[in-house]
Structure 1
Amino acid sequence: MNDVDRRSALALGFTTAALFPLLQSQPAKAAALYGPNDGKELRPGIRVVEIAEVPSEIAAYKQIKVIDVVFQPRAGDPMEMPMDMDMVCLITAGEFDITKRGKTFHVKEGDVYTCGKGKTDKATNTTDGMGVHRIALLVAA
Protein backbone atom coordinates (compact mmCIF):
# COMPACT_ATOMS: atom_id res chain seq x y z
CA MET A 1 0.00 0.00 0.00
CA ASN A 2 1.36 3.43 -0.89
CA ASP A 3 1.60 6.08 1.80
CA VAL A 4 -0.07 9.40 1.07
CA ASP A 5 2.02 12.43 1.96
CA ARG A 6 0.54 15.66 3.24
CA ARG A 7 0.86 17.44 -0.13
CA SER A 8 -1.06 14.65 -1.94
CA ALA A 9 -3.75 14.64 0.76
CA LEU A 10 -4.15 18.42 0.47
CA ALA A 11 -4.28 18.21 -3.34
CA LEU A 12 -7.02 15.59 -3.17
CA GLY A 13 -8.93 17.66 -0.61
CA PHE A 14 -8.74 20.80 -2.75
CA THR A 15 -9.69 18.81 -5.86
CA THR A 16 -12.75 17.38 -4.12
CA ALA A 17 -13.76 20.83 -2.85
CA ALA A 18 -13.31 22.33 -6.32
CA LEU A 19 -15.36 19.58 -7.95
CA PHE A 20 -18.33 19.65 -5.60
CA PRO A 21 -19.99 22.64 -7.34
CA LEU A 22 -19.45 20.94 -10.71
CA LEU A 23 -21.12 17.79 -9.41
CA GLN A 24 -24.08 19.93 -8.31
CA SER A 25 -24.04 22.41 -11.24
CA GLN A 26 -26.42 20.46 -13.44
CA PRO A 27 -29.23 19.10 -11.30
CA ALA A 28 -29.25 15.33 -11.20
CA LYS A 29 -31.98 13.98 -13.40
CA ALA A 30 -34.52 12.29 -11.18
CA ALA A 31 -33.76 8.59 -11.23
CA ALA A 32 -37.31 7.84 -12.37
CA LEU A 33 -36.72 9.93 -15.51
CA TYR A 34 -33.89 7.73 -16.78
CA GLY A 35 -35.32 5.27 -19.24
CA PRO A 36 -34.07 1.75 -19.85
CA ASN A 37 -32.28 2.88 -23.03
CA ASP A 38 -30.77 6.19 -21.82
CA GLY A 39 -27.01 6.32 -22.12
CA LYS A 40 -24.79 3.34 -22.85
CA GLU A 41 -25.06 -0.08 -21.23
CA LEU A 42 -21.97 -1.11 -19.24
CA ARG A 43 -23.42 -4.46 -18.25
CA PRO A 44 -26.96 -5.71 -17.61
CA GLY A 45 -28.68 -3.38 -15.14
CA ILE A 46 -26.00 -0.65 -15.28
CA ARG A 47 -25.90 2.24 -17.78
CA VAL A 48 -23.71 5.35 -18.17
CA VAL A 49 -25.18 8.73 -19.13
CA GLU A 50 -22.69 11.48 -20.09
CA ILE A 51 -23.48 14.81 -18.40
CA ALA A 52 -20.62 17.28 -19.03
CA GLU A 53 -16.99 17.64 -20.07
CA VAL A 54 -14.90 20.65 -19.07
CA PRO A 55 -11.22 21.59 -19.14
CA SER A 56 -9.57 21.40 -15.74
CA GLU A 57 -7.80 24.24 -13.99
CA ILE A 58 -6.22 21.72 -11.62
CA ALA A 59 -2.62 21.15 -12.78
CA ALA A 60 -2.67 17.37 -12.35
CA TYR A 61 -5.75 16.97 -14.57
CA LYS A 62 -6.40 18.13 -18.14
CA GLN A 63 -10.14 17.50 -18.15
CA ILE A 64 -13.10 16.69 -15.90
CA LYS A 65 -15.86 14.44 -17.27
CA VAL A 66 -19.12 14.16 -15.35
CA ILE A 67 -21.25 11.06 -15.83
CA ASP A 68 -24.24 9.44 -14.16
CA VAL A 69 -23.98 5.69 -13.63
CA VAL A 70 -27.54 4.40 -13.38
CA PHE A 71 -28.12 1.13 -11.51
CA GLN A 72 -31.36 -0.80 -11.81
CA PRO A 73 -32.81 -2.12 -8.52
CA ARG A 74 -30.38 -4.53 -6.79
CA ALA A 75 -27.92 -4.32 -9.72
CA GLY A 76 -24.22 -4.29 -8.99
CA ASP A 77 -20.71 -4.90 -10.22
CA PRO A 78 -19.80 -8.60 -10.37
CA MET A 79 -16.49 -8.05 -8.51
CA GLU A 80 -14.08 -5.34 -7.36
CA MET A 81 -12.54 -3.73 -10.43
CA PRO A 82 -9.53 -1.39 -10.69
CA MET A 83 -10.29 2.24 -11.53
CA ASP A 84 -8.50 3.65 -14.57
CA MET A 85 -8.47 7.22 -13.23
CA ASP A 86 -9.11 9.25 -10.07
CA MET A 87 -12.76 10.11 -9.47
CA VAL A 88 -15.17 11.73 -7.03
CA CYS A 89 -18.56 10.01 -6.62
CA LEU A 90 -21.80 11.63 -5.38
CA ILE A 91 -24.85 9.45 -4.75
CA THR A 92 -27.83 11.29 -6.26
CA ALA A 93 -30.41 8.51 -5.88
CA GLY A 94 -30.65 5.26 -3.98
CA GLU A 95 -28.33 3.54 -1.53
CA PHE A 96 -25.27 1.43 -2.27
CA ASP A 97 -22.87 -0.98 -0.65
CA ILE A 98 -19.36 -0.04 -1.79
CA THR A 99 -16.56 -2.57 -1.45
CA LYS A 100 -12.93 -1.44 -1.57
CA ARG A 101 -10.06 -3.85 -0.93
CA GLY A 102 -12.45 -6.33 0.68
CA LYS A 103 -14.04 -3.81 3.09
CA THR A 104 -17.66 -2.78 2.57
CA PHE A 105 -19.35 0.49 3.58
CA HIS A 106 -22.82 1.89 2.92
CA VAL A 107 -23.60 5.18 1.13
CA LYS A 108 -26.92 6.89 0.49
CA GLU A 109 -28.28 9.88 -1.40
CA GLY A 110 -26.11 12.96 -0.78
CA ASP A 111 -23.00 10.99 0.29
CA VAL A 112 -19.66 11.55 -1.45
CA TYR A 113 -16.68 9.21 -1.70
CA THR A 114 -13.53 8.98 -3.81
CA CYS A 115 -11.80 6.33 -5.90
CA GLY A 116 -8.12 6.42 -6.80
CA LYS A 117 -6.52 5.30 -10.03
CA GLY A 118 -5.49 1.65 -9.75
CA LYS A 119 -7.59 1.11 -6.59
CA THR A 120 -10.46 -1.36 -6.67
CA ASP A 121 -14.14 -0.61 -6.19
CA LYS A 122 -17.41 -2.54 -6.36
CA ALA A 123 -20.85 -0.90 -6.12
CA THR A 124 -24.20 -2.61 -5.51
CA ASN A 125 -27.56 -0.85 -5.43
CA THR A 126 -29.19 -2.09 -2.21
CA THR A 127 -32.65 -0.64 -2.89
CA ASP A 128 -35.72 -1.70 -4.82
CA GLY A 129 -35.54 1.56 -6.80
CA MET A 130 -33.14 2.97 -9.34
CA GLY A 131 -29.79 4.21 -7.97
CA VAL A 132 -27.52 6.87 -9.48
CA HIS A 133 -23.85 7.70 -8.94
CA ARG A 134 -22.85 11.11 -10.31
CA ILE A 135 -19.12 10.75 -10.97
CA ALA A 136 -16.50 13.37 -11.79
CA LEU A 137 -13.78 11.56 -13.73
CA LEU A 138 -10.45 13.32 -13.30
CA VAL A 139 -8.57 12.88 -16.59
CA ALA A 140 -4.82 13.08 -15.93
CA ALA A 141 -2.74 15.71 -17.73
Structure 2
Amino acid sequence: MKTMNRRSAIALGVAAATIAPLFATATFAKTKKYGPKEGKEIAPGVRMVEVSTGNSDIPAYKSISIVDIVFQPGAHVPPTVMTNDMVCTITSGAFTIKKVDKEFKLKVGDVYTCSKGKTDEATNTSKEVGVHRIAVLVPA
Protein backbone atom coordinates (compact mmCIF):
# COMPACT_ATOMS: atom_id res chain seq x y z
CA MET A 1 0.00 0.00 0.00
CA LYS A 2 1.27 3.47 -0.89
CA THR A 3 1.64 6.14 1.74
CA MET A 4 -0.52 9.23 1.40
CA ASN A 5 1.22 12.55 0.96
CA ARG A 6 -0.12 15.82 2.33
CA ARG A 7 -1.59 16.94 -1.02
CA SER A 8 -3.55 13.70 -1.42
CA ALA A 9 -4.83 13.93 2.15
CA ILE A 10 -6.06 17.49 1.59
CA ALA A 11 -7.74 16.51 -1.69
CA LEU A 12 -9.45 13.57 0.01
CA GLY A 13 -10.60 15.80 2.88
CA VAL A 14 -12.03 18.41 0.51
CA ALA A 15 -13.86 15.72 -1.48
CA ALA A 16 -15.33 14.21 1.70
CA ALA A 17 -16.42 17.64 2.96
CA THR A 18 -18.09 18.34 -0.38
CA ILE A 19 -19.96 15.04 -0.58
CA ALA A 20 -21.13 14.79 3.06
CA PRO A 21 -23.77 17.56 2.80
CA LEU A 22 -25.30 15.84 -0.22
CA PHE A 23 -26.19 12.83 1.92
CA ALA A 24 -27.59 15.05 4.67
CA THR A 25 -29.67 16.98 2.11
CA ALA A 26 -31.21 13.79 0.73
CA THR A 27 -32.52 12.92 4.20
CA PHE A 28 -33.63 16.48 4.94
CA ALA A 29 -35.60 16.79 1.70
CA LYS A 30 -38.11 14.08 2.61
CA THR A 31 -41.46 15.63 3.41
CA LYS A 32 -44.44 14.31 5.27
CA LYS A 33 -47.72 13.60 3.54
CA TYR A 34 -50.03 16.58 3.95
CA GLY A 35 -53.80 16.44 4.31
CA PRO A 36 -55.93 18.32 1.77
CA LYS A 37 -56.72 21.16 4.22
CA GLU A 38 -53.28 21.69 5.79
CA GLY A 39 -51.69 25.09 5.32
CA LYS A 40 -53.06 28.07 3.43
CA GLU A 41 -54.50 27.87 -0.08
CA ILE A 42 -52.52 30.09 -2.49
CA ALA A 43 -54.09 28.87 -5.77
CA PRO A 44 -56.67 26.22 -6.66
CA GLY A 45 -55.18 22.86 -5.59
CA VAL A 46 -52.05 24.52 -4.16
CA ARG A 47 -51.38 25.06 -0.44
CA MET A 48 -48.47 26.58 1.49
CA VAL A 49 -47.42 24.85 4.73
CA GLU A 50 -44.96 26.66 7.02
CA VAL A 51 -42.26 24.22 8.17
CA SER A 52 -39.82 26.34 10.22
CA THR A 53 -37.98 29.64 10.51
CA GLY A 54 -34.47 30.39 11.74
CA ASN A 55 -31.90 33.15 11.92
CA SER A 56 -29.39 33.53 9.11
CA ASP A 57 -25.61 33.87 9.35
CA ILE A 58 -25.55 35.14 5.76
CA PRO A 59 -25.05 38.93 6.10
CA ALA A 60 -27.60 39.85 3.40
CA TYR A 61 -30.41 37.90 5.10
CA LYS A 62 -31.81 38.20 8.63
CA SER A 63 -33.71 34.90 8.57
CA ILE A 64 -34.66 31.89 6.49
CA SER A 65 -38.17 30.46 6.35
CA ILE A 66 -38.76 26.91 5.15
CA VAL A 67 -42.13 26.29 3.51
CA ASP A 68 -43.61 23.41 1.56
CA ILE A 69 -45.79 24.29 -1.42
CA VAL A 70 -48.13 21.33 -1.91
CA PHE A 71 -49.59 20.88 -5.43
CA GLN A 72 -52.39 18.47 -6.25
CA PRO A 73 -51.87 16.55 -9.53
CA GLY A 74 -52.14 19.00 -12.44
CA ALA A 75 -52.35 22.05 -10.15
CA HIS A 76 -50.86 25.29 -11.41
CA VAL A 77 -49.63 28.54 -9.92
CA PRO A 78 -49.94 31.36 -12.48
CA PRO A 79 -47.05 33.78 -13.10
CA THR A 80 -46.12 35.27 -9.74
CA VAL A 81 -43.57 37.95 -8.88
CA MET A 82 -41.18 36.67 -6.21
CA THR A 83 -41.09 38.81 -3.05
CA ASN A 84 -37.77 37.29 -1.82
CA ASP A 85 -34.81 35.29 -3.09
CA MET A 86 -35.51 31.56 -2.71
CA VAL A 87 -33.85 28.18 -3.08
CA CYS A 88 -36.32 25.46 -4.08
CA THR A 89 -36.08 21.68 -4.22
CA ILE A 90 -38.63 19.17 -5.46
CA THR A 91 -39.40 16.56 -2.78
CA SER A 92 -42.23 14.80 -4.62
CA GLY A 93 -43.91 14.96 -8.01
CA ALA A 94 -42.63 16.45 -11.26
CA PHE A 95 -42.96 20.05 -12.40
CA THR A 96 -42.68 22.41 -15.33
CA ILE A 97 -41.31 25.79 -14.28
CA LYS A 98 -41.66 28.82 -16.55
CA LYS A 99 -39.60 31.94 -16.13
CA VAL A 100 -39.61 34.98 -18.41
CA ASP A 101 -36.65 33.72 -20.44
CA LYS A 102 -36.84 29.92 -20.07
CA GLU A 103 -38.91 26.85 -19.29
CA PHE A 104 -37.61 23.65 -17.68
CA LYS A 105 -38.78 20.38 -16.15
CA LEU A 106 -37.88 19.20 -12.66
CA LYS A 107 -38.18 15.91 -10.79
CA VAL A 108 -37.58 14.75 -7.22
CA GLY A 109 -34.22 15.95 -5.92
CA ASP A 110 -33.81 18.78 -8.47
CA VAL A 111 -32.99 22.25 -7.16
CA TYR A 112 -33.59 25.68 -8.67
CA THR A 113 -33.60 29.31 -7.54
CA CYS A 114 -35.99 32.23 -7.71
CA SER A 115 -34.86 35.86 -7.58
CA LYS A 116 -36.69 38.68 -5.86
CA GLY A 117 -38.65 40.73 -8.41
CA LYS A 118 -38.58 37.98 -11.09
CA THR A 119 -41.64 36.08 -12.33
CA ASP A 120 -42.06 32.31 -11.96
CA GLU A 121 -44.88 29.92 -12.87
CA ALA A 122 -45.18 26.28 -11.76
CA THR A 123 -47.31 23.29 -12.82
CA ASN A 124 -47.37 19.83 -11.24
CA THR A 125 -47.11 17.56 -14.31
CA SER A 126 -47.19 14.30 -12.33
CA LYS A 127 -50.12 12.13 -11.27
CA GLU A 128 -49.15 12.43 -7.61
CA VAL A 129 -49.18 15.21 -5.04
CA GLY A 130 -46.09 17.34 -5.69
CA VAL A 131 -44.13 19.33 -3.13
CA HIS A 132 -41.67 22.21 -3.50
CA ARG A 133 -39.61 22.68 -0.33
CA ILE A 134 -38.54 26.31 -0.39
CA ALA A 135 -35.95 28.18 1.65
CA VAL A 136 -37.18 31.77 1.61
CA LEU A 137 -34.27 34.14 2.24
CA VAL A 138 -35.62 37.12 4.23
CA PRO A 139 -33.48 40.27 3.72
CA ALA A 140 -31.71 41.95 6.63
Q: TM-score, normalised by structure 1?
A: 0.78
Partner Cα separation in structure 1 for residue 23 and residue 41 of structure 2: 27
Match of 2:114 in 1: 115
How many residues align structurally?
120
Match of 1:71 in 2: 71
Moved over 2 A (4+): 20-30
Q: Amino acid of the residue matched to residue 69 of structure 1?
A: I
SS at match of 1:105: strand
Q: Amino acid of the residue matched to residue 113 of structure 1?
A: Y
Partner Cα separation in structure 2 for residue 111 and residue 128 of structure 1: 18
Partner Cα separation in structure 1 for residue 34 and residue 115 of structure 2: 28
Q: Which runs of 5+ in 2 are unaligned?
A: 1-21
Matched, 1:124 2:123: yes
Are the structure 2 counterparts of residues 136 and 22 from structure 1 closer, same or farther at C-alpha, using a change threshold of 3 Å? Answer: farther
Match of 2:102 in 1: 103
Match of 2:81 in 1: 82
Partner Cα separation in structure 1 for residue 25 and residue 44 of structure 2: 26
Q: TM-score, normalised by structure 2?
A: 0.79
Match of 2:31 in 1: 29
Match of 1:54 in 2: 54
Are the structure 2 counterparts of residues 46 and 23 from structure 1 closer, same or farther at C-alpha, using a change threshold of 3 Å? Answer: farther
Match of 1:39 in 2: 39
Partner Cα separation in structure 2 for residue 62 and residue 24 of structure 1: 26
Are the structure 2 counterparts of residues 27 and 111 from structure 1 closer, same or farther at C-alpha, using a change threshold of 3 Å? Answer: closer
1:44 is displaced (CA, Å) by 1.3
* Overall identity of the aligned pairs, in %: 52
Partner Cα separation in structure 1 for residue 89 and residue 42 of structure 2: 19
Aligned partners of 1:67 and 1:136 also within 8 Å: yes
Are the structure 2 counterparts of residues 75 and 101 from structure 1 closer, same or farther at C-alpha, using a change threshold of 3 Å? Answer: same
Cα displacement string for residues 24-77 of structure 1 (whole angstroms, at most 9, x for unaligned residues): 6755324xx211011111121000111110000000000000000000000011
Match of 2:93 in 1: 94
SS at match of 1:107: strand
Say which one has the larger Rg: 2
Partner Cα separation in structure 1 for residue 133 and residue 31 of structure 2: 10
Aligned partners of 2:66 and 2:134 also within 8 Å: yes
Partner Cα separation in structure 2 for residue 137 and residue 27 of structure 1: 15
